[in-house]
Amino acid sequence: MTSALEVRALSVSYGQKPAVFSVDVTCPVGKMMAIIGPNGAGKSTFLKAVLGIVPRLSGEVTVFGQPLAAARRRIAYVPQRASVDWDFPTRVVDVVMMGQFRRLGLLGLVRPSHRTRALDCLTRVGMADFAERQIGQLSGGQQQRVFLARALAQEADLYMLDEPFAGVDAATEKAIIDVLKSLRAEGRTVIAVHHDLSTVADYFDHVMLINLRKIADGPVASAFTAENLQATYGGRLAGAHIEQLQLPAA
Amino acid sequence: MGAEFVQLSLVPLLIGTLAAMACALPGNFLILRRQALIGDAISHVVLPGIVVAFLITGAVTTWPMLLGAAGAALVAVALIEAIKRLGKIEAGAAMGVVFTSMFAGGVLLLEQSDTSSVHLDVEHALYGNLESLIWLDASGWSSLFDPSALAYLPAELGRIAIVTLLVAALLLVFWRVLKIATFDEGFAATLGLPVGLISLGVVATAALAAVAAFDAVGSIIVIAMFICPPAAARLMTNRLERQIWISLGFAALSAILGYVLAGYGPLWLGLQDSVSAAGMIATVSGLILMLAALFGPCRARVGAGAGS
Amino acid sequence: MQPFISALLLQSGYNAALVCVGAALLGAAAGATGTFLFLRKRALVSDAIAHATLPGVTLAYVAMVFLGGDGRNLAGLLGGAGLSALLGLLAVNTLVARTRLAEDAAIGAVLSVFFGFGIVMLTVIQTLNRGQPAGLEGFLLGSTAGMLRADALVIAIGGAFAVGMVIALRRPLGIIAFDSGFASATGVHVARMDLLLMALVMAVVVVGLKVVGLILIVAMLIIPPVSARFWTDRTDRVLLLAGLMGGVAAYIGAALSASAPDLPTGAVIVMVSALGFVISLLLAPGRGSLAVFIGARRFQARVHLRQGLLALGHGERIFDRYTLNVLRRAGFIRRDGVATVDGQTEGVRALRDEARWRLVRRTYHDEAITQRYDGLTPIETVLTADEIALIDAQLGARHGR
């Protein structure tokens, strides 16, 4: 099987306002795919609907050839930072341990090996020194890294991230993209809602453009074109901006 | 502190302490999930519950009352959830509509029913009668090992002890999923955890504790036990595990101090009778919260809270 | 029935008429005042305020007795109630502002602790009175006996005042309810307005304690605004409707209560109010459950129909059972799933609509047009015929026809 994620005819609405309409998309295994589109285009909603966090109106989701429910253990989700109360009484290392839930199960005892694994994940994102700190004391970029470490602890095959680079400092952005690239080098698949058009070509090899409907998807070289961007962003993306992006010829 | 203590004070102290702890345990999670006021709702619907039970059975014996209270709690929770979803109303308003209506219904039923035959003690339902749970058959500390005396222990003690153990057991077993689902519900859903069921479970456990405790301390005070000790504990630490333990400590302290002050305080002040133990327990728990709010090491809001 | 009708028409005697009018004014005041609490998502603050009155009432009683006066002096008791309610409110705000506790925890803590302390004081009073109850139990459940003229006057004046203030301040209160940050920026003094609103709530609570009792006054502050919200989206209309529903429910409830024995006023009023809520919840057009349910089903059918037609137009196989059902019902496919003539025509139409919309979304800068696209709206409803012709020409040119 060649696709990590296959979505067919996915529609999501809030009440009677469509947010995502009839989206078909496929992400091949071992690729890094960006989901881009203007604000309110339904990018986050699409991600959440794929994962079953928000209910969908129609559509089918297949992960590594299986229905979503059967493949959950192969998926790791990194939500937006704002979705959590950072005043919650827990330490950084505890959050990463949550990622090991599958290994531990409901009643499993926490052994030193689990803790070591958690610290390894923290080291990978550069946060090992912060293990004992209360999460409310972290900066935005540090919080993002902790979320990523939690996802790493899940040892998944498909990583789905919601705006991982939003509002983080440059050092964190570099740390995160390095981790994501190393995941891809290991043969894992990464799908991320992305907000910064200028880094799409550098970071990702696949892209999906969405604005209520899917406008285009595929390898960056063929899908990330001026024409598709114009179709996605409509009149909002000035010609000059598109030129700045130095896109491949359509 | 001899025979008189064992006869008159030991059992109420134990019952009060257990009731406080049974409520404080789920209260920790209610606070973190911003569902603190579900305790308010449950406490208010206990009255109509026991009125209905009384109307059906015609007597004021314990088990029908407890079942009536439990039934009312479940009905209330279900109605609140239904109204929240159907009407897209925020939680506080939904709770307010449901429990005030149910309470009014209870009052109406109370007046309409033939209460002249049996007196339904409304005050008891509201603020309990802890001081009356005495153990007259005890003759001293040795009675704790005397089976014939133990047979006459007030039944409330056994009930609250079982419920407290049950609640503690549930918390221990489901600790991990509770922590994960309360911290980040979206993430929990992607792990495949049944977040809706977990939410229901927390509320149901709270309802169980409330009904068991209301038996001893009445319904209104139960809210204090759900909220004050865990809230005070939250201001004292940044670790959830420690918060739970501290909340248990504060709950026990409130119960013991409250009972002692209610029983002996007036005597120290030269007055004749004791005052409401349940009310005093709630007051003490409030004082502890106040002290924690003024001096607790972790009282300040540090991180950016999630959009409430 | 007859006693009820005559009570409604204020024919059942002076006392009953007084109760009806007083209750109606109280209900209107509570409904109106409660509206802004509800819109601010602080509905249960009223519960905290109501419970926080108990210590004040008991302390006032004790104080008045010690000072040699009549412990049951209404003005004194209500004054005590107001003071301790104010204290409770301040406690809630301080807890939320200075600690990491959320508002619901603060409300619950104040509610239970103040009430608990009030219970302690109640038992103290019982001790002082040598076991005689203080007659304060009425504060919990309201009075079932007739109202004194003085009581009714207090309620009428207090209620009218509260209603007047709410109407006068509805604009700033409304803006704050909607977006307090914006209100601050436009010069509305948010903290002062909040305090004023709370003062109004307290006035209503204190005044209503005597009639319907502590727990039921909360009902009258919460239920009418929630019910009114189902019927309209405009703040001033919610305000008006809430006041109306509260007043009418109180009037009918009081009349019912006067017309039969064993019907305590407060409880009946709340039940009438609750009935109004249920009707609003289920039957209100637009936001009521029935309307929402029907609308949602229709919408889902539209979405599936559109998706199905697009698939037909592309010649793709359709797998989704619901989509197949919808297409079949509309006569666009046969039993075996093959498209009918109608289906093919509509499929082509849908494709053409999609293509036109795609072009419009790419090239038009007018957001009033491009924002109208929701996957379902046909372009004919948004653009004129000649505009569409222009687009068709462009589409034709692009495909080299």
Contact A212 C320 (CB under 8 A): no
Backbone angles phi, psi at A4, to 5 degrees: -80, -40
DSSP B233: H
Q: What is the mean pLDDT of residues B120-137?
A: 73
Residues of C in contact with A212 (CB under 8 A): 373-375
DSSP B125: H
Nearest to B187 among A79, A82, A86 (CB): A79
CB-based contact C363 A235, cutoff 8 Å:
yes
Structure tokens at C199: 């003062």
- CA atoms of A207 and A222, how far apart (whole Å): 9
pLDDT of residue B110: 79
pLDDT under 50: residue ranges of chain C: 144, 401
Which residues does B contribute to its contact with A (CB < 8 Å)? 32, 173-174, 176-177, 179-180, 182-184, 186-187, 189-192, 234, 237-240, 242-243, 298, 301-307
In this structure, the strands spanning A32-36 and A189-193 are parallel
Interatomic CA distance for residues C20 and C3, integer angstroms: 14
C residues 276..295 contacting A (CB < 8 A): 295
For residues C119 and B224, the answer to whether their CB atoms sit within 8 Å is no
Confidence check: pLDDT of A204 > 60:
yes
The pLDDT score that the predictor gives to residue B307 is 39
Cα(B305)–Cα(C4) distance, rounded to whole angstroms?
A: 53
User: Chain C closest CA to B64's CA: distance in Å?
Assistant: 24
**C98: closest chain B residue by CA:** B300
Q: How far is residue A174 from each of residues A169, A170, A190, B46, measured CA to CA in Å? A: 9, 6, 16, 57
Chain A positions in Cβ-Cβ contact with residue B187 (cut-off 8 Å):
77, 79, 98, 150
Read off the pTM.
Answer: 0.87
Residues of C in contact with A15 (CB under 8 A): 296
Question: With an 8 Å Cβ cutoff, is C105 touching chain A?
Answer: no
Output the six-digit token pair for C332.
């666009």
Report the residue of A63, A73, A87, A109 to disrupt the B interface, i.e. the one with the largest count of B CBs within 10 Å: A87
Nearest by CB: B186 against A83, A91, A101: A83
pLDDT surpasses 50 at A227:
yes
The count of CB pairs under 8 A between chains A and B is 94
Is C295 in contact with A16 (Cβ distance < 8 A)? yes
Asked whether the predicted pLDDT for residue B306 surpasses 50, the reply is no
Q: How many residues does chain B have?
A: 308
Per DSSP, B9 falls in state I
Cα C112 off chain centre by? 24
What tokens were used for C290? 């029935």
Lowest mean pLDDT among B61-70, B130-139, B154-163: B130-139
Nearest CA distance, A110 vs chain B (angstrom): 11
Residue of C46, C99, C231 best to disrupt the B interface, most CBs of B under 10 A: C99
- Given the structure tokens 């009536």, which residue do they identify? B68
- Report angle CA B291, B293, B299 to the nearest 5 degrees: 135
**B276–C122 C-beta distance less than 8 A:** yes
A127-159 pLDDT, tens per residue? 999 999 999 889 999 999 999 999 999 999 999
pLDDT at B221: 75
DSSP label at C244? H
Predicted local confidence at residue B156, as pLDDT: 84
pLDDT classification of B303: cutoffs 50, 70, 90: low
pLDDT of residue C211: 67
Nearest to B50 by CA among B80, B19, B72: B72
Spatial neighbors of C2 by CB under 8 A, at least 6 apart, are none
Three-state DSSP string of A127-170:
CHHHCCCEHHHCCHHHHHHHHHHHHHHCCCCEEEEECCCCCCCH
Work out the percent of chain A whose per-residue pLDDT is above 70: 95
Rounded alpha-carbon distances, angstroms, from residue C208 to A101, B102, C161, C259:
53, 19, 13, 21
**pLDDT 10s digits, B258-275:** 999 988 887 777 776 778
| Chains near A (3 or more Cβ pairs under 8 Å) | B, C
Are B218 and C123 spatial neighbours (Cβ–Cβ below 8 Å)? no
Q: Is C236 helix (H, G, I), strand (E, B) or coil?
A: helix
Structure tokens at A103: 């290994």
Work out the minimum CA distance from C357 to partner chain B, whole angstroms: 33
Cross-chain residue pair B177–A106, CB shorter than 8 Å? yes
Helix (H, G, I), strand (E, B) or coil at C252: helix
DSSP alpha helix (H) spans, B147-306? 147-150, 155-173, 175-183, 185-190, 195-217, 219-234, 240-268, 277-295
The tens digit of pLDDT for each residue in C342-368 reads 888 888 999 999 888 888 887 777 777
Judge whether residue B100 has pLDDT over 50.
Answer: yes
Instruction: Name every chain A residue with its beta carbon within 8 A of the beta carbon of B236.
Output: none
Judge contact between C32 and C52, C-beta under 8 A.
Answer: no
Q: What is the pLDDT of residue C70?
A: 72
- Write out chain C residues lying below 8 Å of A8, CB-based: 319
Q: Out of B179, B187, B301, name the one closest to residue A87 (CB).
A: B301
Mean pLDDT of B66-81: 90
Query: Which one, of B191, B202, B221, lies nearest residue B40 by Cα?
Result: B221
- Interface check B90 vs C, CB under 8 A: yes
Helix (H) or strand (E) holding A34: strand A32-36
CB contact under 8 A, C104 and B35: yes
Rg (CA), chain C: 30
In this complex, do B107 and C141 lie within 8 Å of one another by their Cβ atoms?
yes
Query: Distance between CA atoms of C16 and C268, rounded to whole angstroms?
Result: 14
At B193, is the pLDDT very low, low, confident or very high (cuts 50, 70, 90)?
very high
Q: Which residue of C has its CA nearest to B287?
A: C113
Residue B21: CB partners within 8 Å, gap ≥ 6? B164, B248, B251, B252, B255
CB-closest option in C322, C358, C366 to A231: C358
Question: Looking at residue C401, what is its pLDDT?
Answer: 45
End-to-end CA distance of chain A: 30
Mean pLDDT (chain C) is: 83
On the question of pLDDT at B116 being above 50, the answer is no
Straight-line distance from the first to the last Cα atom of chain C, in angstroms, rounded to the nearest whole number: 80
CA angle A42, A44, A45 (to 5 degrees): 60
Instruction: Flag whether residue B77 sits within 8 Å of chain C, measured between CB atoms.
Output: no
Neighbours of C297 (CB within 10 A): 10
Cβ(A163)–Cβ(A36) below 8 Å:
no
Distance CA A134, CA B300 (A): 13
- C230–chain A nearest CA distance, Å: 15
Residue pair C193/C58 in contact by the 8 Å Cβ criterion: no
Inter-chain residue contact A106 with B173, CB threshold 8 Å? yes
Mutating which of B28, B110, B275 best tests the C interface, going by the most C Cβ atoms within 10 A? B275
The pLDDT of B57-62, averaged and rounded, is 75
Cβ of B306 within 8 Å of Cβ of A53? The answer is no
Task: Give the span between the Cα atoms of B137 and B153, in whole angstroms.
Answer: 8
| Residue with the larger pLDDT of the pair B201 and B64 | B201
Determine which helix (DSSP H) or strand (DSSP E) holds A23, and give its type and residue range: strand A17-28
Nearest to B130 by CA among B260, B238, B247, B253: B260
Residue of C nearest to B223 (CA): C112
pLDDT at A250: 47
Torsion sign across C-alpha atoms C296, C301, C306, C310 = positive
B80-84, B216-220, C280-284: which has the minimum mean pLDDT?
B216-220
Q: What are phi and psi of A27, to 5 degrees?
A: -115, 120
Closest of A201, C132, C248 to residue B273, by C-alpha = C132
- C359 to chain A, minimum CA–CA distance in Å? 8
Helix (H, G, I), strand (E, B) or coil at B120: coil
Nearest chain C Cα to B106, which residue?
C267
pLDDT above 50 (res B308):
no
Is the CB of C306 less than 8 angstroms away from the CB of A87? Answer: no
Which of B83-97, B113-127, B170-184 is predicted with the least confidence, judged by mean pLDDT? B113-127
How far is C127 from B268, CA to CA, in rounded Å?
Answer: 15
C362/A230 CB distance under 8 A: yes
